Amino acid sequence: MIAETGHFALILALVTALVQFALPLYGAHRGERALMGAAAPAALAQFSLIVIAFLALMHAYVTTDFSLANVWENSHSAKPLLYKISGVWGNHEGSMVLWVLILALFGSGVALFGGNLPLELKSRVLAIQGSIGAAFLLFIVATSNPFLRLNPPPIEGNGLNPLLQDPALAFHPPFLYAGYVGLSISFSFAIAALIDGKVDAAWARWVRPWTLAAWMFLTIGIAMGSWWAYYELGWGGFWFWDPVENASFMPWLVAAALLHSAIVVEKRNALKIWTILLAILAFSLSLIGTFLVRSGVLTSVHAFAVDPARGVFILMILCVFIGGALTLFAWRAPMLKAGGLFAPMSREGGLVVNNLLLCTACAAVFIGTLYPLALETINGDKISVGPPYFNFTFGLIMLPLLLLVPAGPLLTWKRAEAWPVIQRLWMAALATFAIAMVILVATRRGPWLAPFGIALGFWLVLGALAELAERIALFKSSFPVSWSRLKGLPRSSLGMTFAHAGLGLAVIGIFAVTTWREEHIVAMKPGDHLSVAGYDVTFLGEAPMTGPNYTGDAGRFRVMAGNREVATLASEKRRFQPGGQETTEVGLLQAWSGDLYAVMGDRMNDGTRAMRIYFNPLISLIWLGTFIMFMGGVISLTDRRFRVGAPKTARRLQPAAAE
């Protein structure tokens, strides 16, 4: 009964989304307030219905109800509870339900907190949001329905892909989806402005926080995916320029650009048309990402949907929304009024440079990801565009951007001078130079890239701190004065410092790992030892083991530093029931200086095991950096300028209207 209620709620949500699209759009077109009033309740109803459907599906997973074909295909009675829950979105159908759930959540956010939006704008935004929801709900109901039943039901299920049975991966999709879907709000705002032919002042105030939220979630979602690939796949790396990774990285880059251009719209009313285009592009890339990973075009753990009907359906959604949006843009954008003026050398100008570089970098990734696919479709040639291409092109474009980041926040609005900026950054520049020299001298024979790359990271961190010190007049006035200035600083400014410094930390980590990493692939038998980055690693032997739904072998390693035992690491090879799929558990010793990473490989003919042992220096800085970037977003979101009130007349009139 719960399952059937969920099914009905899902279908009702589809119908409600259609109404949410049609009534308010028609109302806004005719200028009828009453019809526009349907938008907010429809958005809330749609969200509530999807919540019901999602909880019903989760109930079926938790109680292991194999009368749902979806549960039978993707769950197993012996699975731990956490993975029964995360199994809801660990498959195609359920993950699409999560997708529309988050979409509807964001839509109801606009409905609830959009009191300071003109009704026309709010209605159109919700109508566009409704149309996206309707398209994906139709996709689910027609091609990927998780509520189809089996009668009689089987007694045992097929189980969740063991690779996905992992805590980081349990939460990676919700965050990533929150990011993808958050960009739908910016998209809806852009389309609403285009339909309207007018960019309301409130428009600019709304686009940025939503973009910021989406960007934050994308950041943490990508970091979780990367972290999972790092310790679960056992390849020892954290980023492979895999098309699936790129699919999430491209929206992140454009969202980062949008985030910055939205500041200009918000504060200076300039760059409006460009921002609208970016908003369309950011969400389009999210859709393309969804298509790439879900259509089976790419083979990966994400490619749940190999059914061609689904691929074609998503492709149609893609064409309608992206094509429609760009057509609308070409038609309506010239009608929009340009905003505030600024000189090329100004904060606005700096943000334009940021945008151009981020978009170019995204284009480089886009070409590297899609060119092989396009070529294969056209003439069947299979080519592989690998990390060297990406590292070179992407790195080359990002280099000037990263060099300029510390200067940007020191530029003044409208018109700026170069000299004051140089004056305020020379200390940071000097310190950066010193760090590069120290590294160069200390490592001497090491890869030449290391000192420069790491110094670049330090430049970002020190530049961000220098800007902060300048704002609070640190060392120029007494400490209490600085402290009170720090407290008085706008949250968005503080958030920016965090985000830029976090980026710097991540850059340090990325360069340290890629240039200094140690890698050993050796055959070991119990008792053998190996010295890695100052650790002495001894293979103690292996023992069979049994988990809740797997059996396997656990290899144990003793790690000594000097004469002291630091840790005992265990690397496991697991064979999951049912199916007998094998996974590897990495033995990981984390420290600030770097991670010792041990993987037990296959048994060799002579009784030894092939071991892969890595040392990844400073890799924690990558995760720490991304987390600090995320926190920067959180701090920025609490800024007071996002709390613009509704017009006073509205407050006066609303009680009257309700009577």
Partner 1 sequence: MLNFLIFAVLAAGVVLGVCWPVLKGSTAGPRRADYDEVVFRDQLAELERDRARGLIAEAEAKAARNEIARRLIAADRDSPAAGARASGRWAAVAAAAFIPISALALYLALGAPGQPDMPLRERLANAVANNDVQALMARAEAHLAEKPDDLRGWEVVAPIYRSAERYADAARAYQNILRLKGPDAGTYADLGEMLVIANAGLVPKEAAQAFAEALRLDARSPKARFYAGLALKQDGKRAEALTLWQGLLADTGPDDSWRGVLEAQIASLSPGAPVLSDEQVAAAQSMTGEDRENMIRGMVDGLEERLKSAPADLEGWQRLIKARAVLGEIDKARAAYGRAREQFKADTAAMAALSQAAKELGIE
Distance CA 51, CA 56 (A): 8
Cβ atoms of 489 and 471 within 8 Å: the answer is yes
Touching partner 1, residues 242-261 (CB under 8 A): none
Cβ atoms of 296 and 306 within 8 Å: the answer is yes
34 binds partner 1 (CB under 8 A): yes
Whichever of 308 and 490 has its CB closer to partner 1, that residue is: 490
Distance CA 451, CA 457 (A): 10
CA distances (Å), origin 38, targets 100, 113, 419, 443: 20, 16, 55, 67
User: Which of residues 50, 57, 60, 455 is near partner 1 by CB under 8 A?
Assistant: 60
- Residues near 75 by beta carbon (within 8 Å), at least 6 away in sequence: 61, 64, 66, 84, 87, 157, 158, 159, 160
In sequence order, what are the beta bridge partners of 587?
Answer: 598
- Token readout for 263 is 């500041």
Stretch that binds partner 1, among 86-94, 438-446, 522-530, 650-658 (CB under 8 A): 650-658
Q: How far is the CB of 421 from partner 1 (least distance, A)?
A: 13
81 binds partner 1 (CB under 8 A): no
Q: How far is the CB of 230 from partner 1 (least distance, A)?
A: 35
452 binds partner 1 (CB under 8 A): no
Touching partner 1, residues 311-340 (CB under 8 A): 340
202 binds partner 1 (CB under 8 A): yes
Distance CA 186, CA 508 (A): 32
Picking from 210, 283, 217, 264, the residue whose alpha carbon sits closest to that of residue 642 is: 210
Whichever of 153 and 387 has its CB closer to partner 1, that residue is: 153
* Residue 282, helix vs strand vs coil: helix
Distance CA 404, CA 271 (A): 20
49 binds partner 1 (CB under 8 A): yes
Stretch that binds partner 1, among 236-244, 357-365, 442-450, 638-646 (CB under 8 A): 638-646
Distance CA 7, CA 364 (A): 43
269 binds partner 1 (CB under 8 A): yes
Whichever of 9 and 599 has its CB closer to partner 1, that residue is: 9
Q: How far is the CB of 27 from partner 1 (least distance, A)?
A: 6
Q: How far is the CB of 511 from partner 1 (least distance, A)?
A: 32
User: Which of residues 73, 93, 120, 542 is near partner 1 by CB under 8 A?
Assistant: 120
The total of other beta-carbon atoms located within 10 Å of residue 265's CB is: 25
Touching partner 1, residues 331-390 (CB under 8 A): 340-341, 347
- Token readout for 285 is 């890339």
Whichever of 268 and 556 has its CB closer to partner 1, that residue is: 268
Picking from 246, 226, 245, the residue whose alpha carbon sits closest to that of residue 235 is: 226
Query: What is the separation, in whole angstroms, between the first and last Cα of the chain?
Result: 40
Whichever of 41 and 387 has its CB closer to partner 1, that residue is: 41
Site map for partner 1, 133-162, x if CB under 8 A?
--------x---x-xxx-xxxxxx------
Residue whose token pair is 């009257």? 656
- The amino acid at residue 184 is S
Q: How far is the CB of 657 from partner 1 (least distance, A)?
A: 4
Stretch that binds partner 1, among 195-203, 356-364, 599-607, 619-627 (CB under 8 A): 195-203
In sequence order, what are the beta bridge partners of 570?
Answer: 556
Stretch that binds partner 1, among 451-459, 558-566, 581-589, 644-652 (CB under 8 A): 644-652
* Residue 90, helix vs strand vs coil: coil
Distance CA 422, CA 403 (A): 13
58 binds partner 1 (CB under 8 A): no
Stretch that binds partner 1, among 165-173, 198-206, 497-505, 527-535 (CB under 8 A): 198-206
Whichever of 309 and 330 has its CB closer to partner 1, that residue is: 309
Stretch that binds partner 1, among 117-125, 217-225, 325-333, 622-630 (CB under 8 A): 117-125
In sequence order, what are the beta bridge partners of 561?
Answer: 535, 564
Touching partner 1, residues 461-520 (CB under 8 A): 471, 490
Touching partner 1, residues 218-237 (CB under 8 A): none
In sequence order, what are the beta bridge partners of 576?
Answer: 550
Residue whose token pair is 């981020």? 358
Distance CA 432, CA 395 (A): 19
Whichever of 123 and 616 has its CB closer to partner 1, that residue is: 123
Q: How far is the CB of 100 from partner 1 (least distance, A)?
A: 16
8 binds partner 1 (CB under 8 A): yes
Could you tell me how many residues of this chain bind partner 1 (CB under 8 A)?
A: 89
The total of other beta-carbon atoms located within 10 Å of residue 382's CB is: 7
Stretch that binds partner 1, among 112-120, 216-224, 283-291, 294-302 (CB under 8 A): 112-120
* Residue 345, helix vs strand vs coil: coil
